[in-house]
Amino acid sequence: MRFRMRTVLALTGALTLSLATGCAQGGTAGASGNTVTYWLWDANQLPAYQACAKGFEKQNPGLKVKITQMGWADYWTKLTASFIAGTEPDVFTDHIQRFGQFADLDVLEPLDDLGIDDSAYQQGLGANWTGQDGHRYGAPKDWDTVALFYNQKMVKEAGLTADGLDHLSWNPKDGGTFEKTIAHLTVDKNGRRGDEKGFDRNNVKVYGMATGGAGDSDGQTTWSPFTGSAGWNYTDKARWGTEYQYDSKTFQSVVDWYFGLAKKGYLAPFTDYTDGANPASAQIASGRAATAFDGAWMISTYYGTKGLKVGTAPTPTGPTGKRATMMNGLADSITKSAHNKEGAKKWVRYLASDECQKTVGGYGIVLPATPDGTRAAVAAYGKKGIDVSAFTEPVTDRKNSTTFSFPVTDYAADVYSLMRPAMQDVFANGAPVSGLTKTNDQINLILGQ
């Protein structure tokens, strides 16, 4: 009864977290003995996985794949609700940020018998999906890193060059060449730049950098490239840590400097950001900002914006002497109560195969998990005139770059629920970063249960 009650409470917490960003939709998984139900959230990827489904069905006569695609927020709300209602899909696209929660809920099927070899995928992607019990719960699907998107016209008008943006560095004391560049790209309503005398920080026309919000508990496209290149880690261990480190002086000094860019007028304020209506990409598209940190999953959005010519640069070099970026890797997971478990395993094995990964790569939408799949994607992007080296270099150039993952721990929803308002208070209200120490203590108290 104790375990069952913990599961119910955790599911309720996960559903509450999902409801904070979207509304549940009705419907059931709808499976039969000959059908494998598969859920994903990215509409851009749907054609690629429909192509994989055709290849799979050809190799497995009698089996059909039913793909359901939803928006990001609705996806997690409905998925969490489906575990409660017993209407979960056979297979779903899993996110490392949610893995700890789902593993704790015991709703995932072990995948040890699929013959997945970590060495067949980009470094680190496979190991991330191993639970504390030693079992695998996700088959590597794709990966992404973060880079700096910029408006080429604004950069040129400021007298800056692509090469210059490719070699920026920063430090938490004076911001280095990165802060100087962001300041120079900032223009107030009188036409003065952020590094010019008389600049009016309270009346900015174009911010040097778009805001992506306060970053919540991970800062993926906000402060994490800086905390990472300063040598900070989310937890005491790479995976399944038992203590968070938001109380670190390094973390707090970097966050203080980062949000301080908004006080100087260089970073768009917290009020400019809304996840749905005005994300960083929209701020760039509207001419409100000159640059934005964003993930590889947004490449098509930026490059597909009419009238906007963008470029990308790697994250700046930090105090460690290296660039840093979160490297997130999605995976395909099978639900423990899958209606067609055997068919689901065949489908997941195919999704993780080089055959499917090269098919997906050929669409030039994401970077698949296998090296051959990645190469296919790079070539597909190249045919579109898009250089994605700013995203791939962190993986190919380990000498000058470092990558890190989302924190993988128990009680992920609780960590998010505590850090989200705390970080927003720092960014939006100027609360002292030292207050994050108390939040960190609350988080570690929960993890210690």
- CB atoms closer than 10 angstroms to residue 44: 15
Span 137-164, pLDDT tens digits: 999 999 999 999 999 999 999 999 999 9
Nearest Cα to Cα of residue 185 among 171, 389, 168, 173: 168
Segment 288-335, tens digit of pLDDT: 999 999 999 999 999 999 999 999 999 999 999 999 999 999 999 999
Least confident of 91-105, 168-182, 368-382: 91-105
Kindly calculate the radius of gyration of the chain based on its CA atoms and give it in whole angstroms. Answer: 22
- CA triple 122-378-116, angle to 5 deg: 25
Residue 31 has pLDDT above 50, yes or no: no
Both tokens of 410, joined, read 């128990």
Residue partners of 193: CB distance under 8 A and separation at least 6: 158, 183, 184, 185, 186, 187, 199
Range 166-182 average pLDDT: 98
388 or 31, higher pLDDT: 388
Three-state secondary structure of 43-95? HHHHHHHHHHHHHHHHHCCCCEEEEEECCHHHHHHHHHHHHHHCCCCCEEEEC
Cα–Cα distance for residue pair 447/226, rounded to 1 Å: 26
Q: Whole-angstrom Cα distance, residue 196 to residue 159?
A: 14
Q: What global pTM score does this model have?
A: 0.91
H helix intervals, 219-369: 224-229, 249-263, 280-285, 299-303, 341-351, 354-361
Question: What are 189-224's pLDDT values in tens digits?
Answer: 999 999 999 999 999 999 999 999 999 999 999 999
In whole angstroms, what is the distance from residue 192 CA to residue 138 CA?
A: 51
Tell me the two tokens of residue 30: 């709808």
Which residues partner with 65 through β-bridges? 36
Task: Tell whether the model's pLDDT for residue 12 goes beyond 70.
Answer: no
pLDDT one-digit tens code per residue, 228-282: 999 999 999 989 999 999 999 999 999 999 999 999 999 999 999 998 789 999 9
pLDDT at 101: 86
Tens digit of each residue's pLDDT (9 = 90 or more) over 230-243: 999 999 998 999 99
Region 2-8 average pLDDT: 36
Round to whole Å and give the CA distance between 139 and 22.
27
Tens-place pLDDT, residues 410-421: 998 899 999 999
How far apart CA 272 and CA 204 sit, in angstroms, is 12
According to the model, what pLDDT value does residue 23 have? 35
Residue 30: predicted pLDDT: 43
Q: What angle do CA 348, 125, 149 make, to 5 degrees?
A: 110
Helix (H) or strand (E) holding 10: helix 2-19
List, edge to edge, every strand of the sheet that includes 291-295. 291-295, 146-151, 310-313
Phi and psi (nearest 5°) for 118? -55, -30
Give ∠ CA 154-157-158 in degrees, rounded to 5: 85
Inform me whether the pLDDT recorded for 25 exceeds 50.
no
Residue 103: name the closest of 239, 246, 224 by CA. Answer: 239
**pLDDT greater than 90 at residue 122:** yes
Whole-angstrom CA distances from 54 to 47, 61, 370 are: 11, 11, 20
